[in-house]
Amino acid sequence: MSDRFAAPLPGGIGVSRLRVYDTVAPDGLVGGTPHVHLCCTEGYVVTDGEGAVQTLTTAGFRETPLRPGAVVWFEPGTVHRLVNGGGLSIVVLMQNSGLPEAGDAVLTFPPEVLADPAAYAAAAALPDGGAPGADVHAAYRRRDLAVTGFQALRSGGPAALVAFHAAAVALRQPLLTRWRQRWEIGAGRAAADTAGQLDALEQGDPGYLGDAGVYTVDQPTERGRLGMCGLLDTYPATG
């Protein structure tokens, strides 16, 4: 077995397993925290249970059913929220070495919270950073505040979503250098490697094929980390 950190996952993605929260939010629905990603596409592979993902884009609101075997993905700018209809568990595929769980997420807090970085940080904070065993009620509290903001976004029409996108970008500006570095050693590296391999193949050069490795992670590195939508079993990022 080769060093598991020597190569990123295919395409420089990140993977985690998610058990969606099973408590009731202020609107009476059971599930996770509505939020948006700014530069990452995210995908769900449903493994157990049932539910739905609610999405909000400039095209409007949509609710997509989730059942075992379903695969759903959405692009940056899509506000999304998981609704748990019972035992909903998902394998989450995240662009850019798992950046959606490492910074590229803005929760749909009310506008006055989004406009104040200190207030946003306080509202989004979890004890011990959400480490396994941390008080899950803190995650429920921030979920409930985000659901309140999400309801306002839905009723506010396209203009409200445009304003939310602008506030989200302003809030995350200080993190962009770090995000770019993560992309460069993850998805950017994967794309560059493929370009080099295609060049070699066009030249009839099989040399790089002799450097192939096999990688494995036997178990999640953490079980039960508090995520935005539920309890996460996380795997190491390789980029």
Q: What is the pTM of this model?
A: 0.94
CB 229 within 8 A of CB 31: yes
The whole-number average pLDDT for the span 22-50 is 98
Residue-wise pLDDT tens digits, 130-169: 999 999 999 999 999 999 999 999 999 999 999 999 999 9
Residue-wise pLDDT tens digits, 63-116: 999 999 999 999 999 999 999 999 999 999 999 999 999 999 999 999 999 999
Unique residue bearing structure tokens 């899950």: 136
Phi, psi dihedrals of residue 76, rounded to the nearest 5°:
-55, 145
Cα–Cα distances in Å, from 60 out to 32, 63, 159, 204?
Answer: 20, 10, 11, 50
The whole-number average pLDDT for the span 215-226 is 93
CB 239 within 8 A of CB 7: no
From the list 64, 32, 70, the residue with the least C-alpha distance to 48 is: 70
Cα–Cα distances in Å, from 89 out to 32, 37, 65?
Answer: 12, 21, 13
- Residue 107 has which token pair? 């929760």
- Residue 140 has which token pair? 């429920």
